[in-house]
Structure formats: structure tokens, C-alpha cells
Amino acid sequence: MKQLVILSGKGGTGKTSVTAAFAHLLSRSDAPFRTVLADADVDAANLELVLSPKILSREDFRGGQFAKIDWDTCTGCGICEQVCRFDAIGDASQPQFHRLAIMRVAESDTPNAPIPDLPIVDTIACDGCAACVYQCPVDAITMHDQVVGQWFRSESRYGPLFHAALGAAQENSGKLVTLVKQQARLLAMDEGYDLVLVDGPPGIGCPVISAVSGADLALIVTEPTASGAHDMRRVLETTDHFDVPALVCINKADIYPQGAAEIEEFCRQKGIQVVGKIPFDTLVTEAMVQGQTVTHYAPDAPISHALGNVWDKVASKLKDIQP
């Protein structure tokens, strides 16, 4: 079984549209791989919007923990605030903690009680390190966890899809990415699939590292803009750091041909294969509005041919790689 991850560095270059087109092409009876799909962009999970998945099972994802201070026990000594390195503990004299204290009192059994001069935890800022728990001299602090998202196994138009939804303002997206990928791989192994196709997140940090981990090949979808080229270089350094071979395709290549030529020259110098240029076409958005991939919606359009050519090159590279 092999794993292909689609990345970009910069957001909005077309990762999901390319992934969805590949998923469509891979669903044909003559496709070289039987494929399981995984959406590793759990902050902005869009693949499902063009694959019309039917959810077969859903599971809660419990995220990292947060601290809670018991005001009945707390003496207000301030040690917790001193040891917290995440600016997550303060008292009502500071504006952002004042609001939290008001909310906590309002939701308590005594909503009309005065706001106490005691520390409170900003659960969104809390890293879950529990340093305060161990330093509190009167054991007034305990850790709690919560459901921060869900992950799903679905049957999509183009085969099995693993995806997730992380609640807004939550952490641990890297862990959720790892979980989604792990589940996709397990199914692939159990049922003899040949490929896990992973739609990656933007950036180069924690969720990207989780998405890259274990991949046999990365396809970087870039665009011929100064920003696209800048971020492509950073994501190529990242795949290189984790020893994952990478290919590049240039999306919306015709919006600024000079930029596309510069990317091609950069890749030539670095020995990175450019597997194609895809034109800008509002058909992609039209197809998206219909909940479809562009290759399905407009199979004979130049953009669909370009995507088909990119896929052929990626597939031939994948076949050459020993897992």
C-alpha cells in the first residue's frame, strides 16, 4: 500500500480540487490503484463537499485537557498564574479574564454572587500541561477533557473516505490528522486497497507534519504568484526534511505565465519534476457549486485534460516507488 499526500504551503492553491479530480480518475474501472481517501485538512475539511459522502460511522475526538480552578478551595496565592507559560491564568483585574469570571459566575448555582478576586483559566489559551495542577499548594486545580471534534468513515461517490470536523478554536489538529490517516490505512490494509490519497492542510507546521508522516510521495500544488512560490519552497524544504519525494504542479498557471516560468526554472535547478500546468478556469467553481469535481462536470474541458495528464505522471511516479 502506498500513500500520496497533496500539499501546498500557501492555502487556496487548489489542493482539494486536485485531490477530488484524482479521486474521480481513480474511481474508473481501469484505474491503476484501488484507493482510500483521507481529508487531512481538519480545520477546513472541504473534500466532502464535492464527494457527496454517506457517513457510515462517526466517533468523538477528545482533545487535549484544560485546567479548572475550584474557587471554594483556592486561596488566591497566585502560584498557578506564575507557573503558567501560556498566559492562560489570570484574575478579574485583567480584561480577558474579567469576562471569563463573569461568565463563570453567571453559569454557576449563584449567578448573582460577586465576582471573586481569584484566578481563572482561559480554557482556549490553556495548553493542558498541568504545571499549575502540580504546583497548587492546596490542590484546587484539576484537569478536564472535552470532545473537540468528530471523525467519520464514509462511503463517497469515489470510494471510502475518512474525514473529520474539528470544533472552532480547538487545538490538537495534528493528532486528529494522525487519527484520520491511521483509520484510512487500517481499512486499506484490511481490505486490500493499494493507495491512500491524503488531501493535506496548508502551512508547514503540526498538521502538515502529521499529514506528511509515512507518505511515499507528495504532490505540491502551487500557483504562479509570489506568495505561492515562496510557500512552495517552504513546503518542499519540509518534505525534504522528512525524506518524502515531491512533485510540483502549477495550478492557475496562465494567470501570470512569467511566475509559472520562474517556478519551473526553480524546480529545474533543484531537480524537482514539474508534472504539469493547470489553467485557471471558473468551471472548477461551477462544478463545486454543483457538488462535483471538475473532471466529472466538464470531462472534455481543457482543465480536465490538464488534470488527467498531471494524474498520469503522478501515477507513473507512484508505480516506480517501492513502498
Partner 1 sequence: MIIAVASGKGGTGKTTVATSLAQTLSRNNLSISCLDCDVEAPNAHIFIQPNLDQRKNVDMQIPKVDADLCTGCGRCAEVCQFHAIVVLGGQTLVFPEMCHGCGSCALVCPEDAITEVPQTLGILEGGLASDGIDFGHGLLNIGEPMAVPVISQLKKWRNYMDADIVVLDSPPGASCPVVESVRGADFVLLVTEPTPFGLHDLRQAYELTQEVNIPAGVIINRDGIGDAGVEAYCHEVNLPILMRIPLERKIGEGIAQGKTLLDIDPKYEKQFMQLYRQIGNRVEAGGAQ
- Segment 102-121, which members bind partner 1 (CB under 8 A)? none
The residue with cell 483521507 is 38
Of positions 208, 219, 247, 250, contacts partner 1 by CB under 8 A: 208
Q: How far is the CB of 185 from partner 1 (least distance, A)?
A: 21
Of positions 106, 237, 261, 316, contacts partner 1 by CB under 8 A: 237
Stretch of 268-276, 285-293, 299-307, 312-320 lying at the interface with partner 1 (CB under 8 A): 285-293
Nearer to partner 1, 3 or 8 (CB): 8
CA dist 46 and 65 (Å) reads: 27
Q: Helix 226-241 crosses helix 257-270 at what angle (to 10 degrees)?
A: 20
Stretch of 32-40, 106-114, 203-211, 310-318 lying at the interface with partner 1 (CB under 8 A): 203-211
CA dist 217 and 213 (Å) reads: 10
Q: How far is the CB of 25 from partner 1 (least distance, A)?
A: 20
| Residues 218/246, Cβ–Cβ less than 8 Å | yes
Total residues contacting partner 1 (rule CB under 8 A)? 71
Q: Give the three cell numbers for residue 203.
A: 502551512
238 binds partner 1 (CB under 8 A): yes
The residue with cell 500557483 is 223
Tell me whether strands 35-39 and 195-199 are parallel, antiparallel or unpaired: parallel
Residues 140-169 that bind partner 1 (CB under 8 A): 143, 166-169
Kindly tell me the burial class for residue 36, based on how many C-beta atoms sit within 10 Å of its own C-beta (0-12, 13-18, 19 or more). Answer: buried
CA dist 206 and 213 (Å) reads: 11
205 binds partner 1 (CB under 8 A): yes
Length of the chain: 323
Residues 13-72 that bind partner 1 (CB under 8 A): 13, 16, 42-46, 49, 64-65
Of positions 60, 87, 117, 265, contacts partner 1 by CB under 8 A: 87
298 binds partner 1 (CB under 8 A): no
